[in-house]
A = this chain, B = another copy of it.
Amino acid sequence: MPRREPLNREKVLTAALELADEEGLEGLSMRRLAKRLGVEAMSLYNHVSNKTDILDGIAERVFSEVAPSDPTLPWPDQIRTVTLNMYAAFSRHPIVPLALVTDQSNPTSAQALQPLDTLAGALYQAGFDDLRTRQALGAINALLLGSLLLSTGGFTGDPQPHTAEQGVSAYIRQVDPARLPHFSRLLRHTQNGVSPAADFEEALNTLITGLITSAPQQAPDHAPEGRIDE
């Protein structure tokens, strides 16, 4: 019987990302990945050094999918577009935020860090000093990753996806309106039409509005920027 074309790193990473997209981080095991590639688990170690290496490779790939942003935009728009582009890429591959946050991957290539560099550049352009820039960058990152993680299986006070819709309403009935009046009102009125992407965009706009407010008044550039759209 003809041996298949031999494996290589790229094929391993491609299959790993597919598997992770279908089954999540906990579904991505060396043994299952090998099976999908028609090989024994131990063969994978000829092409990647270990599981962390796979997760790093996946993260690098997904970072490279982040659409670049126009550097001539005013700084708030630059922050908005880069961050929304990261959100879009990561929400297609939820394993990445999860692996980042559980320290199972730690990409360090210039490619991967490019979006962070753009964000830092926009913040410096706004006139923030080093401390404030680090804080603002951290805030954007936290909002981004937190939003992604909460929209995929995370805690919102909501029930887990369960099997169907009826899980939700059962849960709502379970929340005691006497002890949690506001939260149960919220649940009752928002079970329809929840859009994580739209919610994130709104959250990001709110944060950017706050950044504009706290930015040094005299913009260091010629550009009078601070538009808030709504």
**Interface residues, chain A, with chain B CB atoms under 8 Å away:** 98, 100-103, 105-108, 110, 113-114, 116-118, 120-121, 124, 130-139, 141-147, 149-150, 153-157, 159-160, 171, 174-176, 179-183, 185-186, 188-190, 194, 199-200, 202-203, 205-211, 213-214, 226, 228, 230
Contact = CB atoms under 8 A, between A and B. Distances in A.
Contact of A186 (B108, B134, B150): B134
Given A156-B141, A210-B209, A190 B134 contact: yes
Counted per complex, copies of this chain come to 2
A202 B110 CA distance: 28
B183 A100 contact: no
A148 to B, nearest CB: 8
Contacts of A183: 113, 116-117, 120
A159 B121 contact: no
Contact of A206 (B155, B214, B228): B214
Given A136-B206, A139-B203, A102 B102 contact: yes
Contacts of A175: 108, 110, 113
Contacts of A145: 146, 149-150, 154-155
B98 A102 contact: yes
Nearest to A174: B108
Nearest to A177: B228
Nearest to A132: B202
B182 A156 contact: no
B154 A120 contact: no
A121 to B, nearest CB: 4
Contact of A210 (B100, B130, B134, B210): B210
A28 to B, nearest CB: 14
